[in-house]
A = this chain, B = another copy of it.
Amino acid sequence: MPKLGMEPIRKAALVKATISEIGRVGSLDVTVSQIAKRAGMSSALAHHYFGSKDEIFLAAMRHVLTLYGAEVRGALAVATGPEARLRAILAASFSAGNFRREVVGAWLNFYVLAQTVPEAKRLLAVYQRRLRSNLLVCLRPLAGARAHEVAEGLGALIDGLYLREVLKSGPPDAAAAVATALDYLDVQLKGRGA
């Protein structure tokens, strides 16, 4: 049966399975066997392609970050003007694709991973820098000198809204999260700037 060119397919399946399993179990205590089983292969094959469990986790992290980045970029592409672009970033952050229980659970556990695995820390730092930079570009024309503070606060607020989703039961309420973030924005911009 061995077809050729399986590597990318298997890797993608493993990455997807990893996110699912982390979300399901709610921690990084998922075995390579569990992941491999869900991805429809033996654990030996998972090791064959990734080498180690940490590499599997990192690949899953890169995938989540890539998806998020792509979503933001896509949303920014069709938004004109600073306010619209800010709204686009928020919408992407809490979009149906990213703001799912399993993905949120994965994010939380990536923060844990970042405490141990330097590469994980680096990846999260890249995410935070990019978010801040995106926010700053939009905020400078709107908030002027205060752009920096507002970006800092908004970034933390987004992370906090994610974190709080972890404790909720039932489906994630993206609308409420966006509303809270937009409210923060409104009040920051109307209070001073324009």
A residues whose Cβ falls under 8 Å from a Cβ of B: 25-28, 105, 108-109, 111-112, 114-116, 121, 124-125, 128, 149, 152-153, 155-161, 163-164, 166-167, 180, 183-184, 187-188, 190-192
- Per DSSP, are chain A's interface residues mostly helix, strand or loop, or mixed? helix
Instruction: Return chain B residues, CB-CB under 8 Å to A180.
Output: 149, 152-153, 156
Given A27-B28, A191-B191, A111 and B160 contact (CB-CB distance below 8 Å): no
**Complex Cα gap A72–B89 (Å):** 35
Inter-subunit contact A27/B115 (CB<8 Å)? yes
Q: Could you tell me the distance in whole angstroms from the C-beta of A82 to the nearest C-beta in chain B?
A: 18
Given A157-B157, A183-B153, A166 and B26 contact (CB-CB distance below 8 Å): no
